[in-house]
Amino acid sequence: IAAASLAQVHGAELADGTRVVVKVQVPGVERDVETDLRAFKVLAPLLAELFPELDLVSIAAELDRGIREELDFSDEAQRAGEFAARFADHPSVRVPGVHLGLTARRVLTLDRVDGERLMPFLEACEARGAEGEADRDRLFATLVGSFCTQVLEHGVFHADPHPGNFLVLPGPNLAIFDFGCVVTYPPELRRGYASLA
């Protein structure tokens, strides 16, 4: 169904007929990532003089933390379950349920959610005139609202919001996927964002 540098996602069906997706880590990717992270940690201080406006040492440390987090699908399953619980009563946002008994460090099994990819949906909206524009605006309101809810209310933010991590459901409603990269905001930071807004 989908592929990225760390994993592939395949459609499957459980013995009881439940449709699921199975995210499987690319074999050997942990070793490759480890090599790349070590190289970047060594290079960051050396490159710092060339790019003084960037804090490459801090970027290297954050990259190291974030990518290691993304490699453990058991942790991702926990975060996905927490997001699903937080949005369980939201009328326009869906987070697929997790099958913990079929999940491990390198395999993640989720309920299958079928929908339209975000970018083709937006392109089709443009072609449909006023009705399409209204659907686009409703979807963007849901998307922006869901992220405001994450930051200001939940204090837990999906930190990889690229178009491949969303599907558009009828309504239009929004399905959110891939909780490998999640950031927690303490109350004082949430208050700061609220004041800024």
Beta strands 93-94 and 173-176, pairing class: parallel
Give which of 178, 92, 172, 182 is closest to 137, Cα–Cα. Answer: 172
pLDDT single digits (tens) 124-156? 999 999 999 999 999 999 999 999 999 889 999
The single-letter code of the amino acid at 87 is: F
- State the catalytic residues: 160
Beta strands 19-25 and 93-94, pairing class: unpaired
Q: For the beta carbon of residue 33, count every other beta carbon within 10 angstroms.
A: 18
pLDDT single digits (tens) 32-78? 888 888 888 888 888 888 888 888 888 888 888 878 888 899 999 99
In whole angstroms, what is the distance from residue 143 CA to residue 146 CA? 5
